[in-house]
C-alpha cells in the first residue's frame, strides 16, 4: 500500500536560469517533471527516465546532471540552468548558432540535452579535440543525425569561443 511519505510536500528554493524561484513540491517528484510541470520549462525532454539517453540533461550548480535521476527536493538551494537560459533576448547563443549552422539537429528532441552537455564541456575545456567531444557527448543519444554534425557544431562553437 501507499507509503504516507509519498504525499509529503516541501517548499524548495532554487535559482532557475538566474532567477530565484520558490515552489511547493511533492517529495517524490522527479527534478525533470518539476522543471517541465512546475516551472513550465518544457525545453527539457524525457527520453528514457533511466539515465541513459541524456535528453533531460540540465546544469545544476555548474555540473551537468540527468534530471530524470534526481528528485526536485534534491535541487533545494541550487542554481539550475536549462536550455531556456542559453539565449539572451531571444537571440541564439554562439553554441546554438553553431548547431544551426552545422545542421546538428533534425527532430530536435535530444537537442537540449546535447546543448547542456556541450555547454559544460566548453566551460571546462574551451579547446577540445574531436575525440574529446565525441567522448563527452557519448552519454547522449541522438537517433536522427548520426552525431557528425553535432561534433562539428561543438567544434565550431569552441572555435568561436562560444561557451554558452
Partner 1 sequence: MAAVQIPAGTGKLVGARVRRVEDARVLLGKSQFVDDVRLPGTVSIAFVRSPYAHARILKIDTTAARANPGVLAVLTYEDLPELSRALRLEWDPAMPSAPHKLVEWPVLAHEKVRFVGEAVAAIVAEDRYLAEDAAELVEVDYDPLEAVADMERAIEPGAPLVHQEWGDNILQAAGAEFGPVASAFEAADVVISERFSTGRHAALPLEPRGCLASYEAAADLLTMWSSTQIPHILRTNLAAILGAAENRVRVIAPDVGGGFGLKAHVFPEDIVTALAARITGRPVKWIEDRRENLIASMHAKHQIVTASLALDRDGMILGLRARCLSDIGAYTEFPFSSGLEAGVAAAAMPGPYKIPAYQFEAISIATNKATVGAYRGVGMPIAVFVMERLIDIAARRLAIDPAELRMRNMIRREDHPYTNVVGFQIESGSHREALAKALEMLGYEEFRARQTALRSRGRYIGVGIASYIETTAPSTAGWMMLGMRMGGYETATVRVDRAGKVTVLVGTHSHGQSHRTTFAQIAADELGVSLDDVRIEFGDTAKVPYGWGTGGSRSAVVGGGATMKASAVMREKILRIASRATEIPTDHLELRDGAVARKSGGEAVMSLAEVARLAYLPPGGNFAGEQPGLEVAETYEPPLMTHANSTHIVTVEVDTGTGQVRLDRYIVVEDCGTMINPMVVDGQIQGGVAQGIGSAMLEQIVYDGDGQILTGTLMDYLAPTATDVPRVEIAHLESPSPYTLGGIKGMGEGGAIAPPGAIANAVADALAPLGARVDVNEIPLTPERVAATIAKTRNSK
Which residues of this protein are in contact with partner 1, per CB under 8 A? 2, 6-7, 26, 28-29, 36, 40-50, 52-53, 55, 82-84, 86-87, 90, 92, 96, 99-101, 103, 105-112, 115, 133-135, 137-151
**Gap between the Cα atoms of 164 and 161, Å rounded:** 9
Contact 115, 95 (CB under 8 A): yes
Burial of 74 (0-12, 13-18, 19+ CB in 10 A): middle
* Nearer of residues 3 and 22 to partner 1, judged by Cβ: 3
Instruction: Give least dist CB 135 to partner 1, A.
Output: 6
Smallest separation (angstroms) from partner 1 to the CB of 148: 4
Report the nearest approach of partner 1 to the CB of residue 48 (Å): 4
Residue 88 backbone dihedrals phi, psi, to 5 degrees: -120, 135
Q: Distance from first CA to last CA of the chain, Å, rounded?
A: 47
Cell numbers placing 147: 552525431
Residue pair 32/56 in contact by the 8 Å Cβ criterion: yes
Residue 47 Cβ, how far from partner 1 at the closest point, in Å?
A: 5
In the bound state with partner 1, the residue whose beta carbon lies nearer, of 75 and 142, is 142
Residue 23 C-beta: closest distance to partner 1, Å: 16
Q: Which is nearer to partner 1, 4 or 77 (CB)?
A: 4
DSSP letter for 17, please.
T
Is the Cβ of residue 124 or residue 135 nearer to partner 1 in the bound state? 135
Contact criterion met (CB below 8 Å) for 63 and 90: no
Comparing CB distances to partner 1, the nearer of 22 and 146 is 146
Amino acid at each position: 500500500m501507499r507509503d504516507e511519505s509519498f504525499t509529503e510536500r516541501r517548499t524548495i528554493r532554487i535559482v532557475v536560469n538566474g532567477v530565484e524561484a520558490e515552489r511547493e513540491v511533492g517529495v517524490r517528484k522527479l527534478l525533470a517533471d518539476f522543471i517541465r510541470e512546475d516551472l513550465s520549462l518544457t525545453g527539457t525532454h524525457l527520453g528514457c527516465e533511466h539515465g541513459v539517453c541524456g535528453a533531460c540533461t540540465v546544469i545544476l550548480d555548474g555540473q551537468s546532471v540527468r534530471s530524470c535521476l534526481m528528485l526536485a527536493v534534491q535541487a533545494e538551494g541550487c542554481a539550475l540552468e536549462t536550455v531556456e537560459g542559453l539565449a539572451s533576448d531571444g537571440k541564439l547563443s554562439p553554441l546554438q548558432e553553431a548547431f544551426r549552422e552545422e545542421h546538428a539537429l533534425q527532430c530536435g528532441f535530444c537537442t537540449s540535452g546535447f546543448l547542456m552537455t556541450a555547454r559544460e564541456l566548453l566551460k571546462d575545456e574551451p579547446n577540445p579535440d574531436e575525440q574529446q567531444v565525441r567522448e563527452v557527448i557519448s552519454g547522449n543519444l541522438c537517433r536522427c543525425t548520426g552525431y557528425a554534425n553535432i561534433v562539428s557544431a561543438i567544434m565550431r562553437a569552441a572555435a568561436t569561443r562560444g561557451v554558452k
